[in-house]
Amino acid sequence: MKLRKLIADTCEVFDKLSIEYALIGGYAAIVYDSPYITADIDFVVDADKVTLDLLKRLRDMGWNPTEEYSDAIELTAFGQFIHKDTGVVLHIFGDVPGFRIKEGVGLNKAKIEGYDVNVCSPEDYLIMRAAVWGDEDKQKAIVIVRAQGKNLNLDYLMKRAKEEKVTRRVKWLLGFQKIRKDG
């Protein structure tokens, strides 16, 4: 089973259970034209909407939890699963540094295997990387800044940077923005 199919099928489970979610991490970067390669799937979910029914549905799909979860709080603190057929790792978080599902946070739609998947915006991807700010995070953020060029919503990006207290880091990242010239 392909990674893309696993993503689409997992998102369908979230939708059936009315759990708001966003694809984040490496695969979100791929959606935004990064040459990044990833072997895992990362989601942030609205933790308040998660019940242990999610655990059951994921198991039914072949996602085996790496630990026992006795309640939804444990599951959304750091839910980790390994797909029985592919070995792909799935992470589910209630939030990560710089991002959580809340009003005003931008989500985009991407077609993955014909399914509409919620993906964190490229601006929020940058905010997440700026919030963690390790060397690898900087490099991944620079790739997105360069790939997205003038497509970034700078007003939204700077608003979110201020909220997450990463304005200086984001301004530094924007120095890598390619300016496309027509003609």
CA neighbor of 44 nearest in space, from 59, 30, 27, 32: 27
| pLDDT exceeds cutoff 60 at 146 | yes
Indicate the pTM of the whole model. 0.91
Residues 127 and 93 in one domain: no
Residues 168 and 112 in one domain: no
Residues 21 and 46 in one domain: yes
Residues 14 and 40 in one domain: yes
Residues 73 and 153 in one domain: no
Q: Which of 120, 150, 166 is the last residue of a domain?
A: 120
Q: Does a structural domain hold residue 61?
A: yes
Residues 103 and 63 in one domain: yes
Mean pLDDT value across the chain: 93
| pLDDT exceeds cutoff 60 at 181 | no
Residues 80 and 9 in one domain: yes
Q: Does a structural domain hold residue 182?
A: no
Per-residue pLDDT, averaged over 40-48, amounts to 96
Residues 94 and 7 in one domain: yes
Find the CATH number of the domain harbouring 88. Answer: 3.30.460.40
| pLDDT exceeds cutoff 60 at 7 | yes
Confidence category of residue 106, pLDDT binned at 50, 70, 90: confident
Per-residue pLDDT, averaged over 123-136, amounts to 96
DSSP codes, 49-112: G--HHHHHHHHHTTEEESS--SSHHHHHHSEEEEETTT--EEEEES-BTTB---TT--EEEEEE
Output the pLDDT for position 163.
96
Residues 82 and 31 in one domain: yes
Output the pLDDT for position 179.
60
Q: Domain limits at 142?
A: 123-174
What domain count does the chain have? 2
Per-residue pLDDT, averaged over 135-148, amounts to 94
Q: Does a structural domain hold residue 146?
A: yes
Cα 161 to chain centroid distance, Å, stands at 17
| pLDDT exceeds cutoff 60 at 117 | yes
| pLDDT exceeds cutoff 80 at 128 | yes
Task: Give the whole-angstrom CA distance, residue 85 versus residue 47.
Answer: 27
Lowest mean pLDDT among 16-20, 25-29, 40-44, 90-94: 25-29
